[in-house]
Chain A
Amino acid sequence: MTDFSAKRRPQHGAGQDSIDQSLLERIAAGERPALHELYVNYYQRLLRFLYRITGQLELAQEGINDVMLVVWEKGHTFTGRSTVSTWIMGIAYRKGLKLREKSKRWSDRFKAADIDDWNEPFLPSEKPTDEVIMQDLLARALRQLSPEQRAVVELTYFHGYSYQEISAIAGCPVNTVKTRMFHARAKLRTLLPKLGADGPYK
């Protein structure tokens, strides 16, 4: 029987969590090099996730330091009920939504039409491939979702979290996670009509 399910991403392994946990213990004891190591380990993940939520690279970068400041100050309160990665992504989730809200208020006030960086900033020097067209479409389709829905999509498909983990990250019931995903999928199906039509991207 075909196994349809994908493999988990390596960053979620139990081995990774024990590395994270010992780093966090050292951080809680005030060891700056341990913070540096965790910072480097999580940087790309957080940058991508925060960028997806906020839509702005500068906000995403600001968000990483907000998150890591909490890790530095509250590391000793980590109970181990979840993995370190879920805990950190949960902090990022809340910071990301807050930053987005803040910048939205500013852009509303100044009547900026679009607060996001995502608008086709690049011009390919050659004819764009189908893949590039499809990725552009995906990026624009994701923008049509709420930040909360976008976070669920990103955490599931890119970061490979379970719905239980996402419920811990987003601080909401499992059913809310499923509902957000349900609406996100319905919307993406409409916006990406080629999905599942005749093979990938076609």
Chain B
Amino acid sequence: MNHETANGVLPWYANGTLADDERQHVEDHVHACLTCHLELKKEHELHELVRASPTVNLAPEEGFDRLSRRLDDDARGGRSAVEQLAGAVERLWGPLSTLSSATRFSMAALVLLAFAGVLSWRTIPPPVVQGDPDYFTLSSEFKSAGSELDIVFADHVSERELRALVTEIDGSIISGPTALGRYRIRLTDDAVDEAHLSDLIRTLSHDERVRFAGPSFAGEETAE
């Protein structure tokens, strides 16, 4: 089996779904290919990470009741005009409700149940996005995140040390900290290339003042 073929199916080697002969071929290749060997390690970590990612837990009964009513309506030979209109309005406005709906909060609370017993959390309101023109300007302005990175500092780092570190890398804080302690840093040299940025991230990741460093993601708003 050549490198491309083996490398392309590593995720399914890692999740244990390859057929016996294919699995054997991949295994033979992985033992001979350092690149695939290292990538398989990442595959396993990604696998673990996704499997450990929190699952939303909601009780199915309420949903099933709604489905039952829908089936009953259909069984009665269609709904009344008023009901149909109400349904249409609901469908039209449904997507909008996500912007302002109070049910967001109860749902957020339910999501938290996934974490219950692991950590104690409290909810904070989501960022206000509706009809705020500044928000949109901000988010489109920073779409290209080429010279930006995200840093979570170590617990023992003081405000002064934090600012010193940012100056050291010739950057400035443009937002943060978020709820998870993440700062967004923009480098003064905005023509910085990708290789330089990933070198910097690697260096920072080994710095004892830093818990996490990574590239910032394009399209995410910076004013959190």
Contact = CB atoms under 8 A, between A and B. Distances in A.
A62 interface: yes
Interface of B: 8-9, 11-18, 23, 27, 30, 38-42, 44-58, 60, 63-64, 66-68, 70-71, 94-99, 101, 103-104, 107-108, 111-112, 119-124, 126-127, 129-130, 135-136, 139, 152, 155, 178-182, 198, 201-202, 205, 211-215, 217-221, 224
A40 B61 CA distance: 8
Given A4-B13, A59-B95, 8 more contacts: A57-B107, A58-B98, A61-B63, A113-B136, A114-B139, A122-B108, A138-B49, A156-B12
Interface stretch (A14-22, A86-94, A185-193): A185-193
21 contacts: A5-B14, A8-B16, A56-B98, A58-B103, A61-B63, A65-B66, A65-B70, A103-B94, A112-B130, A113-B221, A114-B129, A123-B121, A123-B123, A133-B181, A135-B53, A138-B53, A158-B51, A160-B17, A162-B12, A181-B11, A195-B46
Listed residue (B9, B95, B130) with the most chain A CB atoms within 10 angstroms of its CB: B95
Contacts of A10: none
Contacts of A58: 94, 97-98, 101, 103, 107
Contacts of B12: 156, 162-163
B71 A124 contact: no
Nearest to A182: B8
Given A6-B15, A102-B95, A103-B95, A132 B58 contact: no
B224 A125 contact: no
Interface of A: 1, 4-8, 32, 35-36, 39-40, 43-44, 47-48, 51, 56-62, 64-65, 68-69, 72, 102-103, 106-107, 110-115, 117, 119-141, 143-144, 153-154, 156-158, 160-163, 165, 178, 181-182, 185, 188-197, 200-201
Given A56-B98, A122-B121, A44 B55 contact: yes
| Chain A binding surface, main DSSP class | helix
B15 A178 contact: no
Contact of B15 (A1, A68, A134, A160): A160
Given A65-B63, A112-B130, A138-B49, A7 B215 contact: no
Contacts of B51: 157-158
Contacts of A137: 212, 214
A107 B107 contact: no
Nearest to B67: A65
A68 B67 contact: yes
B221 A69 contact: no
Given A103-B95, A144-B218, A194 B205 contact: yes
Nearest to A103: B95
B214 A192 contact: yes
